[in-house]
Amino acid sequence: MRSLPLPLALTARLLPVAVLASAGWALSSGPLASASDSDSGHSAAERSPDAGSSAGKKDGDGSGSSASPAAKAYDAAPAACDSIAEKTVKSLVPGAKTAGKEIPSTDEAVRRTCSWNALKGFDYRWLDVSFEIADSVKAAQTAYEDRTKEKSGGGAVPGLGDQGYSVVNLTTDKKQQTREGVVLARVSNALVVVTYNGSDFESKKAPGTDEINKGAIKAAKEAVAALGKG
């Protein structure tokens, strides 16, 4: 899946991500679920004061939707590789091909994923953007709530779709750190999932929490905007 040679340790660490992405869903659960240490810090501008407790709330608790069942807004997923601006790709994943690599899906009408990754010098970055179209708003809400529970420890992202959530975790494998951010957004019956991670193979350190969190949220905002163009 990668066009650039990577150190064996990172290749092994990211293998679960590649396996999940090939199934059309780029949300990596392996590294996060097995993390021995984590940090889910977010800047005050990007999180609400009660971020941890509000992430799983339904629309009736503040998203502005009416109590009656809402009609779904989307019938098909947009092209994931066209959802992120070239300048954003260059900024978040230096050295990556801006066209991205679309991951095969069993049904492109309901699920599409694009991946960008590159090793520039000793700095490695990986970005995945996925769209999933549910049959109904209720089904999308349920999927969103289930996923935020799986990725606990993060907080709400105000203004990101009808519901938005982000979490950042740090993993260490043989003294090599990798920091990964996951952002989930729901817009009507559509789910957007962004995964962004990075490592420095010279220092063995990972990028800062703020850098990863802001980068993932920036990509998520562009992906949400792309829903209206699909």
The pLDDT assigned to 131 comes to 98
Question: How is the chain split into domains, by residue range?
Answer: 8-38+75-227
- pLDDT given for residue 15 in this prediction: 41
Per-residue pLDDT 10s for the chain (230 aa) are 334 344 433 444 444 333 333 333 333 333 333 333 444 444 333 443 333 333 434 443 334 444 445 788 999 999 999 999 999 999 999 999 999 999 998 898 899 999 999 999 999 999 999 999 999 999 999 999 999 999 889 999 999 999 999 999 999 999 999 999 999 999 999 999 999 999 999 999 999 999 999 999 999 999 999 997 75
Q: Is domain 8-38+75-227 given the CATH code 3.40.1000 in the classification? A: yes
pLDDT of residue 69: 59
d(CA 115, CA 123): 17
Closest CA to 114 of 157, 78, 143: 78
Task: Supply the DSSP symbol for 122.
Answer: T
Full-model pTM: 0.71
